[in-house]
Amino acid sequence: MTLAPQLRAVAALLTVSALAAGCATYETVSPVEPLSPPLDALDAKVRIMPDQADSLFCVIDNGVGGTPFFPALYKGLTRRGFDVKLLPPGSSIAACPITATYVATPQSYWRTFLSYADITVYRYGERAGRAVYDARRSQGGLNLSNWVEPDMKIEQLVDQLFPGRRPPPEAAQAPGQAPAAQPDTVAAPA
């Protein structure tokens, strides 16, 4: 009779292993390198803050299904000091000092989650960094990626793309004070 509990444990372990086989969410990030400070002293005086030239950040709308989760991308970039502008589909990657092409695909089973995201960043038209997240590669196994909040995953990708531009710490809230209102949507420029 002592063999039955051991067999149940082995069967449970094999079941979990079979479900977990194929759990492969793909994620890769090539971070955007910060601008190096000028070597010439005169150039250093002219360019007081090299990152100020890079504060305008344009995101090109992919034109296919809009830009799902764009408010999360907008929030992540503005928290890092960027002035974000949404450009229409077909805009040039050299339209702004920093430009990104952005594709995000939602999927829904019992809740909506981020199935795929590709954020490619260009500085003055040259590729500077890229983040790719793909939860579609699970091949039928148990995939826990759909439990990750889409906004949190976009924030993680932005954080990894710009490691030198950490957002400021959240301000401490006084007791009894209501939290600041957050916009639910981001108006795209006309």
Per-residue model confidence as pLDDT tens digits over 99-126: 999 888 887 777 777 888 899 999 999 9
pLDDT band with cut points at 50, 70 and 90 for residue 92 = very high
Judge whether 78 lies within some domain: yes
Check: CB of residue 97 under 8 Å from CB of residue 116: no
What would the two tokens of residue 166 be? 């950490």
Looking at per-residue confidence, does 175 or 31 come out higher? 31
For 71, 72, 84, 93, 114, the CA distances from 133, given in Å and listed in that order, are 18, 15, 22, 21, 9
Q: Indicate the pLDDT class of residue 22, thresholds 50, 70 and 90.
A: very low
- List phi, psi (to 5°) of 64: -115, 105
Average pLDDT over residues 72-82: 92
Q: How many Å is the Cα radius of gyration of the chain?
A: 22
Residue 14, pLDDT > 50, answer no
Question: pLDDT-derived band of residue 42, with 50, 70 and 90 as boundaries?
Answer: low
User: Structural domain tally of the chain?
Assistant: 1
- 106 part of a folded domain: yes
The more confident residue out of 142 and 91 is 91
pLDDT tops 50 at residue 176:
yes
188 part of a folded domain:
no
Q: Choose from 12-26, 70-84, 131-145, 171-185 the range with maximum mean pLDDT.
A: 70-84
Residue 184: pLDDT over 60: no
Handedness of CA 89, 93, 97, 98 (dihedral sign): positive
pLDDT, tens digit (0-9, with 9 covering 90-100), for 132-161 = 988 876 555 555 656 678 888 899 999 999
Average pLDDT over residues 17-33: 65
| 176 contacts: CB under 8 Å, gap ≥ 6 | none
In a domain, 148, yes or no: yes
Res 136: pLDDT: 72
Enclosing domain of residue 118: 26-31+52-163
Q: Is 174 inside any structural domain?
A: no
The mean pLDDT value of the chain amounts to 73
Q: DSSP character for 93? A: T
Predicted local confidence at residue 129, as pLDDT: 95
Extract the tokens encoding 112. 């909506």
Specify the pTM: 0.66
- For 83-149, give the DSSP string: EEEEEPTT--TTSSSEEEEEEEEEEESSSEEEEEEEEEEEETTEEEEEEEEE-GGGTTS--GGGGS-
Q: Looking at the chain, how many residues does it have? A: 190
Adjacent-strand bridge partners of 100: 59, 121
19 in any annotated domain: no
Domain presence at residue 122 = yes
Q: Terminal CA-to-CA distance of the chain, rounded, Å? A: 74
- 123 within domain boundaries: yes
